[in-house]
Structures are given as C-alpha cells and as structure tokens.
Chain A
Amino acid sequence: MALLSVENLTVELQTSRGMAAAVRGVSFALERGGTLGIVGESGCGKSITALALLGLLPDGARARGRVDLDGTDLLTLDEDALCHIRGNRIAMIFQEPMTSLNPVHRIGRQIAEPLRLHRGMRGAAAREEVLRLLDRVGLPDPARRIDAYPHQLSGGQRQRVMIAMALSCAPDILLADEPTTALDVTIQGQILDLISELVEDNGMGLILISHDLGVIGETVDNVAVMYGGAIVEEGAADSLFANLAHPYSQGLFAAVPRPGLSRGNRLNTIPGTVPELTDLPPACTFADRCAKATDICWAQVPVMNRIDPDHRTACHHLGGSVE
C-alpha cells in the first residue's frame, strides 16, 4: 500500500463570487521514498493541494475526497490530531524563505520548535540536535549561526534553515512548495541537490511543487501536470518529458525560454490567461485556450487515458486504453 494516497481530492474555496473549486478530483499516490513533482502555472491549484494534505486550507474552504496517510484519512482528523501529523510525519518547506521565519526569534529556537513539540526535546539536547541538523543542511559555522536572527542570513541560508526545521522530526513526507523560486539560480541548484540528497538518505517521500519544468525534471521520478485544479497529465518523469502529450503540457514546455534562441524571436506562449476559478470551462478546463478543442471538450470531462505503460493523460484527442 502506498504511504500517501490521495483520491479524488476536491477543494472549494470561498471567493467573493461564491464557492469555487480550486482543486477538482485530484488523485495520486506516493510510495515510501518516492518522489512526485507537481507542475503547473500560478493558480492551478498545486499549492492548495499541498495545504489540503496538511489541513491548512484558508478559512471557509471545504475539502472532499480522501487523503490516506498509512490508512488514516487526514481529511477526517480534528485539529489536535492534525497538529501531531504536521511537522512530525508530513513537513513542509515554503516558497519564501525571507518571510517564512519569524523575525523576532533566533533560528535555533525556531528549528527546535518541532523537536520540542513532537519529541519533547528541551535545553541542551535540543540544541545539540539543532546543531546537528544545521550541519546536515550545510549551513556554514552552525555553532555561531544557531543564535542568529533570520535577517542576518541570506536567502539560501534561510532556506537551509527552513529545510532543517522541516527535517527535524524525520518526517515520512516532505512537501516542498516552490522551494527555490525566490533564490538565485546558483543557489537553486544547491538547494535542490540538498533536498534530493536528504530524501534519498532518510528514505522520505517528496512532493515537489513548482512551475519550473527544469527543477521538476531534475529532481523527481514521477510528474503530475496540473491545470485548472485538475491533473491533466502524469507519469514517470522520463517517459513524460520524452513524449509530452497533453496540449497544455506541450504549451507549458514550449513556453520555457531557451538560451541560444536568437534575439527577436518571440517566446512561445499559451494563448489567453488562466481563467478565474469561477469561470473555468465546464468540462475540460483547458478547452478555452486549447487549439485542438472541439465540441466534446466543452461537453464531457475527459478521463485519464493510458498512452504509455507509465504515462497517462486526460484529453479527448489522445486515445489509448481507457481505464
């Protein structure tokens, strides 16, 4: 049985125009030690999916479906039970290391927090463990940095601190929501390498969320492409990137700027903009921006079709064996 299995997860958010589905029937599974990348544009529901796993949705949001962690449905747990899961069995790294640390506390204290909360560690023992963690995530001179305030560290160093914090209780699953977006390119590589290395060493499952195809391609085994709150294509990273099937995935990939492209050539873009959650097309959510769209795309929700042994996509125009 998979460590984490998400079945038909639907999340509705409260907007000024009523409830809107930000995540529509998302399903995926993560094995112990497995790595999954979720890729998509801003507003496609990838961060909301991550927050839903931890029960951290904004006020007024409703989640339906199942999120099974070792057989327990997280969606049915109360706040107290979720507090035992968060930071302990599932930990999260956020996009903005600049704002994810509390400016008034020293970093040592912040990293020790999950240890105190979930392991009951205090005082010298906790400090020793924090030093070990800081050393593990490659923060230079941990003995001195442990008493630093967040503003005294650089962005990359702060993200290392966030990773140390997420790592502190040896979680089963690490959720990384755009962990490198706010960092310099050179630092991005280091942080991704660090995450991959830690995932491998500790046997954690990793869910890496990003809009950056390069980041996803380098780091994970399995990829899910999300658009309009639904997964439109998923599969093993190798076979998916070798043969992008869904028109949205192709558009997303074509829009990545490549060095060497001569000046004056315009970047490829996907026509139109991501629609408001309340205005999404009724059936295939990509129908209004898709060049291949026909009547059926507006009438019937596409189901996942297997097009390769380990590669599936949801598009009416891509046949294959229907499951």
Chain B
Amino acid sequence: MAQIETTAPAPATAPGGPSGFMHRALRHRAFMIGLVLTGTMILFALVSLVWTPHSPTEIVISQRLKSPSLSHWFGTDQFGRDILSMIMAGAQTSIVVGLIAVCLGAVAGVSLGLWAAARRGWTEDVIMRLSDLNMAFPVILIAILLTAGWGPGITNAILALGIFNISVFARQVRGAAIAMWEREFVLAARAAGKGDLSITFGHVLPNIISVIVVQATISFAIAILAEAALSYLGVGSQPPDPSWGRMLSESQSYIFLAPIIAVWPGLAIVLSVLGLNLIGDGLRDLVDPRLARQR
C-alpha cells in the first residue's frame, strides 16, 4: 500500500483516481467477493433475457417436485417448472425493482437533502420533518396502502420502496452536505463569488458522491429483500412473473415434502443481498482516504 499513498509528484493520477482505486479494490477481499456475487446475479438476469434452460413459466405436471438432476439442475417446483430458470428470470425482477426504487429515492432524496443543507432554516425544517413523517411509515405499510388504492402489482411495490428511499437518501445527504458547507473550501468558493447553486453542484455534491454510492448499494440490497417480502405477502410481483419472494412464499406449503425448493430462492436472496452489502462496505473503505491509509 505504501507506494500508493506516497504519491508521485507527477500529477497524472491521483490516489483517488482510477488507477489507485482499482489497485486498492483488487486487494480488498470482501469487496471482490461482493463484486463476484453481484456480478453472478447480474449475469443470471442478463442470460435469462436470451436463454433459460427451460421456460420459467411452463407448467409440466408430470415433472413436479423433482430433485435436482441433469435436466433440472435445481429441481422443479410444485407445478413442474424449472427452478433454475425461475431463479434466473427472478433476478431480472429483483434488479429492475432495486434499480428503479433506488434511482427514484436517490434522485428525489439527494435533491431534497442538498436543498435542505444549502438553505438551512425553515426550508430544512420542513424537508426534514416531512422526511421523518415518511419514515414513520414502514415500506410494507406504504405498499399495502398503495395496493389498497391501485391493486397489487410490481409497480406499486417499486413506488413504495422508492418513496421510502427518498427519506433515507435525504437524511444521509443532508448530513454529509452540511458538513461540507462548513468546510473552508466552500467559504473560499463563496469568497470567489460563487452562488449557492453552483457551490452545491460544484463543491458539495462531488465531495459526498461516495456517501451516495455507498447508500445506493445498501438501499439496493434492502430493496431486493423488501421486494421479496412484499411478493411473499402478495402485494409485490404477481404470477406468473417470476419473483424470488413469491417462490419462497409458494414453497412454504411444500417445505416438508420438498425442502430443497425453498432453499434456492432463499439462497438467491441471501447471496445477492450479501454481495451488495459487501460492495457497499467495501466502497466505504475504498473511497474513504483515512480508512485506506490505516489499511
């Protein structure tokens, strides 16, 4: 590590820049494991767009509840559907839900957080109290409320998660941004004649981007888990769209007959959430220069 921290005088690459970061990332074991796990999930989803071993929705009653075999690697469920194919297609659902829910929350939450930090005073009070109010409603409750209004469906699950994420991001970003506003380089930028808006996007946001990225990976993991929970409760994705959460809930009735069919979706959820959390933790270490130096 030493040769990276004592930077060369040549200004070509900063230690925070691409090459130093890659170098440290490759040595960060937990981060690499997270990358492999998440990469596998993304690969599953991508491959399932063009090919799955069997159709994930094709029902073959004669093949029901089969143990893993050469033609069905993960076995089949109570309708004779191929579990591997369902897991692969389910990864799509998880990624789509996670991605949209996180983007929704991040865009709105980051804007609100930055606004609160730049304005302070009553603007901040209003934004943060509304955010507290939003946080007082658990995701499941928001999803059930939306379902009561517009019926069950994956869109409502995404919306519920997105709305919840707004508060999560707003709080994180506000805190980090306020700390940045106190920094001397912001005062120097103001003394140079920059306005609040250009300081926010030119000085505050670039310095807290790591906080946002870390929060995004963790929120992504929570979204996957929550989508599974919502689908398990029947307010998430609807049959026949494959979903890890619904696979888990449907396997419940067969838990004594064929326990293996509950293991696969459970394992998929655990490993993808673990992967994203490891990436989040790893990023936190890698982008924080103080922690990087201690390593």
Contacts and interface: CB of A to CB of B under 8 A. Distances in A.
Contacts of A106: 11
A103 B15 CA distance: 12
Interface in B177-198: 183-185, 187-195, 198
A147 interface: yes
Interface stretch (A32-40, A81-89, A216-224, A236-244): A81-89
A42 interface: no
Given A96-B184, A151-B7, 9 more contacts: A54-B190, A83-B193, A84-B193, A91-B191, A99-B183, A100-B185, A106-B11, A148-B11, A149-B16
B193 A85 contact: yes
B207 interface: yes
A12 interface: no
B184 A79 contact: no
A235 B110 CA distance: 52
A88 to B, nearest CB: 6
B64 interface: no
Interface residues of B, number: 26
Contacts of A117: 192-194, 198
A99 B10 contact: no
B193 A103 contact: no
Nearest to A104: B206
B212 interface: no
Nearest to B205: A104
19 contacts: A59-B120, A59-B121, A83-B195, A86-B190, A86-B193, A87-B191, A94-B184, A94-B187, A100-B185, A103-B16, A103-B185, A103-B207, A105-B202, A106-B11, A113-B192, A148-B11, A149-B16, A151-B7, A152-B9
Given A144-B10, A148-B11, A87 B192 contact: yes
Nearest to B209: A104
Nearest to A150: B185
A101 interface: yes
B229 interface: no
Interface residues of A, number: 37
B189 A152 contact: no
A88 B14 CA distance: 31
A83 to B, nearest CB: 5
A104 B195 contact: no
A165 B191 CA distance: 11
- What does DSSP make chain A's interface, helix, strand, loop or mixed? mixed
Interface of A: 54, 56, 59, 79-80, 83-88, 91-92, 94, 96, 99-106, 113-114, 117-118, 144-145, 147-149, 151-152, 162, 165-166
Interface string B11-33: 11010100000000000000000
B167 to A, nearest CB: 25
B185 A99 contact: yes
A94 B203 CA distance: 17
Contacts of A148: 11
A147 B11 CA distance: 6
B184 to A, nearest CB: 4
A87 B9 contact: no
Given A83-B195, A117-B194, A105 B206 contact: yes
B193 A92 contact: no
A152 B16 CA distance: 12
A102 to B, nearest CB: 5
A26 to B, nearest CB: 20
